[in-house]
């Protein structure tokens, strides 16, 4: 698999161990920066990673920051991305299995290296289960296809 990895300055400490893990597992790991701890604005490094996944230039993406929250929000702003923020391997795996997540966000200020690596393993080994989950993914995709995110006027409460 081709997997893009991007981190802001706070997520930088987790990036090298993750790149090493991916390479050792036989994946093509693509480092999209940042390359040191000089402060950067996370959307500047996370959005290109999400765009690479959305465009099909990578199979999956892993984005890292201090908490992982801003990184998840940024990635999910890109059409076609379903980014799960995980602080444990079960959440990472379920993101793939139930939500067909194509990106994983984690926080270096939240997780130690070993837990982060366990999350990555669970994420890349997880597979979308389909079945009852397909209907939900289709509904998520429908939200992306309308200007205001509302795919059904009947779902709008009256005032």
Rounded CA gap, 26 and 1, in Å? 8
Nearest to 95 by CA among 56, 52, 140, 57: 140
Catalytic residue among 85, 98, 133, 144: 98
For the purposes of burial, counting CB atoms within 10 Å of the CB of 122, is it exposed (0-12), middle (13-18) or buried (19 or more)?
Answer: buried
Residue 98: active-site member: yes
Contact 93, 101 (CB under 8 A): no
Residue 34: asked if its preceding bond is cis (omega within 30°), the reply is: yes
Instruction: Return the ∠ at Cα 47 (arms to 41 and 51), rounded to 5°.
Output: 165
Catalytic residue among 71, 85, 125, 133: 71
28 is catalytic: no
Annotated catalytic residues are 71, 98
């Amino acid at each position: 698999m081709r997997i893009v990895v991007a981190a802001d300055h706070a997520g930088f400490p987790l990036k090298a161990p993750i790149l090493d893990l991916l390479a050792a597992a036989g994946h093509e790991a693509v480092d999209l920066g940042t390359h040191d701890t000089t402060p950067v604005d996370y959307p500047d490094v996370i959005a290109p990673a999400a765009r690479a996944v959305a465009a099909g230039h990578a199979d999956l993406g892993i984005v890292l920051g201090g908490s992982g929250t801003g990184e998840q929000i940024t990635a999910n702003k890109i059409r076609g991305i379903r980014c799960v923020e995980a602080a444990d391997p079960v959440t990472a795996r379920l993101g793939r299995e139930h939500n067909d997540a194509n990106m994983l966000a984690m926080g270096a200020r939240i997780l130690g290296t070993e837990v982060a690596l366990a999350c990555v393993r669970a994420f890349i080994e997880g597979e979308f289960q389909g079945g009852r989950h397909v209907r939900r993914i289709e509904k998520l995709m429908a939200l992306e296809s309308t200007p205001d995110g509302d795919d059904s006027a009947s779902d709008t409460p009256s005032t």
